[in-house]
Amino acid sequence: MKTLAIIGGGSWGTALSIVLSPKFPAVRLWVYEKDLARRMDRLRENDTFLPGFQLPTNVEIHTEIGAAVEGADAVLGVMPSHHARRLYAEMRPHLRPSMAIVSASKGLEEGTLMRISEVIRQVLGQEYKRRIAVLSGPTFAREVARGEPAAVVIASADRELARQIQEAFSGPTLRLYTNDDVIGVELGAALKNVIAIGAGVCHGLGLGNNTMAALITRGLAEITRLAVAMGAKQRTLSGLAGLGDLVLTCTGELSRNRTVGLKLARGHRLEEILASTPMVAEGVRTTYAAIELAQKAGVEMPITEQMHAMLANGQSPREAIRLLMERSLKRE
């Protein structure tokens, strides 16, 4: 693989362009905001989403999505999940089935409740079915951009495609593990953001380590229940894309979703929180989709239910904690 197209110039897309630049002669980074793209091209820095990091010389900035993906060997989608369908439809005329299509978006599509790889397959058609992979794991963009060691998972139904991407993307500071459980990797990536909002709530209420440990453990239990009901393998949720990403997002101060919960617990309105940053907190939209998915699958997700009551119905954080603690007693 010689040319990599990265679709999405947020913090994670920019960080990936930096860490993957030594592996590809040419990296094309598509940026939605034209004024930001002009500054990035001139200053060689993403001053909005990832300030303080220099873009390598082989990273080209694009605002035309067709030009960004045309002739690329691999296309890496790092857009927010609610923009995925539209952007893959725009890319479709410029793609060819020999390309590797890698999704690093962490969320579920509202309405359809589809995983992003399902959205891609529906938009691009069956000829791309064996060319789709998903990338996920415990990563904060700033730490990856700084060159701190990180490990992620690349999952695909085609094991050879996963192996090829593993070889193409792995380097001194980014290690990829292969997996064939696309469902488990994607659901782990999406649902951990919901639990991370709860972790922020706990921190904002001044609750300690006991509470956080219980939240992460029981959060993993309900994520696993839903993922297995949807066809995932249980062991996937014990790995990097499940437990690893959950722990990071629930405990790390760089977590956007944890920050949403923290501010909710401190009395801020959800609308104010979301409007205060250009960053996207995927967990808010994913909470709504997860509730629908759990109801359809007949799976109990009490933490997710309380997060939904807070986000959609304005329930107080302390009431959410009380209702969780007063549920009927059960076996683990």
Among the listed residues 106, 192, 233, 330, the single catalytic one is: 192
Are 232 and 181 in contact by the 8 Å Cβ rule? The answer is yes
**Short-list 88, 72, 80, 82, CA closest to 123:** 88
Are 256 and 264 in contact by the 8 Å Cβ rule? The answer is no
CA distance linking residue 27 with residue 29, whole number of Å: 6
Whether 192 is catalytic: yes
Please provide the DSSP assignment of 165-231 as one string. HHHHH--SSEEEEEES-HHHHHHHHHHHHHHHHHHHHHHHTT--HHHHHHHHHHHHHHHHHHHHHTT
Determine the 3-state secondary structure of 136 from DSSP.
Answer: strand
Angle among Cα 174, 179, 182 to the nearest 5 degrees reads: 110
CA distance linking residue 8 with residue 10, whole number of Å: 6
**Short-list 197, 211, 208, CA closest to 246:** 197
Positions marked catalytic: 192
